[in-house]
Structure 1
Amino acid sequence: QKMYSKMVRLLVVCAINKADRLVVHRVFIISGRRSRRHEKLIQKVSENAPERLDLKCRGASNPIQDRTMKKLGLPITLTVVLLLVYIILQLPEPNWMGETGLNYLYAALLASASFVLVRAIGFVLFDIFFKRRKGHEAPALLRDLFAIVAYFILFMMIYSSVLKRDLSALLATSAVVTVIIGLALQDTLGNFFAGISFHIEEPFHIGDAIRVGDTLGRVEAVTWRTTTIRTNNNTLITFPNSRVARESLEIFPLNNLNRRILRFPAPYSASPHKIIPLVREIVRSVPNVAAERAPVVRVGDFSDSSITYEVLYWVKDYMWHPDIDAKIRERVWYAYRRSGIEVPFPIRHVLLETLEPPIKLQEMDYERVLEEVDIFEPLTQQEKEMVIKGLVKYVYAPGEVILRRGDPGDSMFVICRGKVEVRLPGTDGHPHQVAVLGAGDFFGEMALFTGEPRAADVSAAEETEVLEIRKSVIQQLLHENTGLAEAFSRKITERQMMLSAHLRSTADDVKRTEREKILQRIKRFFGLH
């Protein structure tokens, strides 16, 4: 166990480049127990960096310390040399370099010491505090920005205090130069500040998958000017940081549970109860699908020739999703074959029909309905055809009002299919149902023949299809055959006698009088003499 822990620590020290860092991250995740898989992984990393591992095993110094000493070695050496020269030149008398020469030497000494100071502070800030707090190395852009600002401040102090130069003229000149450079390098400065914002906010890290516009790739590097990603085609694409900051950015962090939706078809003949568990088990067994979240299979849409299902699965490395999608489609095909399910394909049914037969069939249906209306028994076949041609069909939803009591009207209705409810006000003032009419029944005939207002409320009890017979049709018949008025009055009187128990018990002369009244009202309504 001690040897295993030591090897893990060695790998962490050795893996200082970006490629090895991902592998070491996985070593940390699995370092709780020792196994053959761990040993193979350690061997793989060791093969990628054998020289660094060999140096560490022989007791070589820390790579970070080595790198820091390389950065500090030359400035320290130069500072020591300049310091010795400065001390030596001050010993002889008289001073052959003069005061001005010593000032320039002293400025060079302080400049060299500034290099040492800035790099030492950078080491403490970024290699110690930043790394402990963030868990990874500081970006190169942040290091460079700190160094530029620190060097500028120190050099200005040396220029002003040691060389005794006035900074106002220099700053004025610098301001003009800065404006000119800023106007000339607008895009470059935009990329620069966008890169700074990326390093401060850290919306993504090296190794994450990002989508910039329509391009998906893994982040390889983020510099002060550009962001480089590697696509699944193994090509490198470099984006200016200003474009990455400006466009919509979709981020898929590495080792995060990133959801992916894949759509696939299934035939209508196979029920969802069969397809959903079948595909869900397939997705579970596909490599690189995250085991932490169970895949979800659901009905996505009803397409023209198939049911479109959606598979929701989670993946830690989103760059694997094209391979995972392909593997899922492949296994779905084999599962369909084993289960006897046909893979659906577009189907189009072409129906050829003529327009005349439906019209004839419709007229035949209307003629059959009209035969059941006893008021129109006196009509000849030719006259019935005239009525059929003038019919208007309406369809009403359940509960929809067809007629309202008291409304004016000049038409009647024949029920083709469905049922209607007839309601009249009761003694309490509220409407009560007095009758239910079905297919073949009719209502509103008094308004058609005499123009009386509607006598009752009529509403559809279910989806109902009715045929409306309007005044213009009956008026044409009466003008061509005035004898129909008397026949209509007789039929209407008979219908009222059937509906009213009082009229059924009255004498014949009273019925005759009632029929004469109805006849006169028909003639008056249609303008007959």
Structure 2
Amino acid sequence: MLVAFWSLLKTDEFLFHLIYALALLVGLEVIYRLLARFKAIRISSFLARLAIILISLWFFLVLSQVPPDSFGMRLLQAAALFLAILIVLNLLDYLFVDRFLLAKRKIKVPVLLHELIKIALLILILFVIISKVFQARLSTLLVSSAVVSAVIGLALQDVLGNIVAGVALHVGKPFKVGDWVKVSDQVGAVIQTSWRSTTIRTLDGDFVIIPNGSISKEEIVNYSAPNPRHAQYVQVGTRYEMPPNLVKETMAEAALQTAGVLAEPKPQVWLIEYGDFAINYKMKYWIDDFPRHSHIGDQIMTRIWYLFRRQGIGIPFPIRDVNLFTVSPEVQERGRVERVASILEVLKRVEILKPLSGEEMKRLAEGARAHRYALGEPIVRQGEEGDSFFVITSGRVEVSASDETGARAVLAQLGGGDFFGEMSLLTGERRSATVTALEDTEMIVVDKANFAQVITANPSIAQSLSEILERRLIENAAKMAELERARPKEKSAVESRDSLLKRIRSFFRL
């Protein structure tokens, strides 16, 4: 072939043959560009241009009368034929898999199965082309390929092991794309499974590519199967003097108050150990959003701290050295007096408590408690029973209510110096709204038992309280009407002071 081609270069016909071949190349390129508007053609752009070059070269050699049975011509013919078949396969693959199965039937063919079928077809086509073009016997090719395969198999045993493991994973289906799994000490969402490896996206947003051979040897934990519901655990230690049932109830309440924790199955709390310096508890709760498990766990532990603080449940420090000391009664009394004085200063500024004398106000301050609530924590809920009154000392809260349809509306935001819950304190009325902390919030809490000591000693203040309460209800009704862009409610729509006075006396049994 090379001798014939070299002799052709010395003749004038070479230039004409080259021009004809270039003309064919340009013509085929124009046809390709016209057809390239279709995506089915564009997906094989590189193969199509390579085929155009080979066809033009083959045409040039034919014009140059290169013997068709020469090795070079046969090799060129085999390559062009293989490319053409490959282009047709890509076209059929696009039309059948992408357009028909995926787009119309919504059937997603697994990537691994898809690639294995393509590779098997290409190997079969390659054997047929070689046997036809080079007139080779297929049995000889198979024997030769078996020897070559043995050599390649020894050299690429790890790669082949990954392929076999990939097939096993595809058949066994321990996970699918989108599942959250733990494998090879990596936790993440499955992004893709190929013939060689599996790609997962970790909680940190990193892509980790794990060979299928490694996965087949590891324990696989699927957090998304058989359903996304998944159990999590937290452990807390408390002081020995804390009643276990109170601790368990408080921990369960903290879990149920946290967004993302399922109401069913209910959280379970166990006393697991009497430790050196604490009674240790373990709580099991359920979530269905595994990517947020760390955030949900953080919120639960945060809520536990605030609830423990309000319930007087102490979390002990680890004990290493014990230093005994005694606080004198004078120091204890000084601390109590300072606490009462600070609470008293807050209560003096509350409008609804104006009828109380200085001594009555002091008695109320002695029984009041300082509570702290976490960001997002509900302080009171609409419709629940209550008999306590709240005065905000720092932070902000949101007041909201829902109607019969469940539609929720934000009524107000309250800050330092504001108060709420007076109707529940004085009449025992159910909460008319939900109050939620918008940030860490501290407040003074006065409950019925505390207030009863004052009002039973001086029942006459009930009259003044009913008047102030009536005025507050009128103001709140006007604010609600303005919020709803309606006419303000008439005074007759608000409960009268006589009715309020009767309810106060009944509630405190005056």
Normalising by structure 2, what TM-score?
0.47
Normalising by structure 1, what TM-score?
0.45
Larger radius of gyration: 1
